[in-house]
Amino acid sequence: MTEHSPVPGHGPVRVRVFIEGRVQGVSFRYYTWQKAAQLGVRGWVRNLADGRVEAVYEGPRPAVEEMLAWTRRGPLLARVEAVAIHDEEPQGERDFSVR
């Protein structure tokens, strides 16, 4: 990540991202699920009717930051349109899910 983290706080965090561009929904969701499991990130990812992909990442700040960095890099040259940051305790799902 950069010197100034896009994720506020020191404890668990929750971020919501909208991805558009060269996103292939099924593949992106599968790779996101794999990466989240590797990093220990909870949340979900789903396709939206307008063609974008929406994802919510929850967990320890370093893991969520790495997940955001991974999202911005790909794996399919996806472009993050917006990142809405929620400085709150995660409500949490037990695992990462694909919707």
Residues with a known catalytic role: 29, 47
Note whether 46 and 54 are within 8 A (CB): yes
Residue 61 sits at φ, ψ, to 5 deg, of -50, -50
C-beta neighbour count of 3 within 10 angstroms: 4
H or E, element range at 26 = helix 25-39
75: preceding bond cis by omega (within 30 degrees)? yes
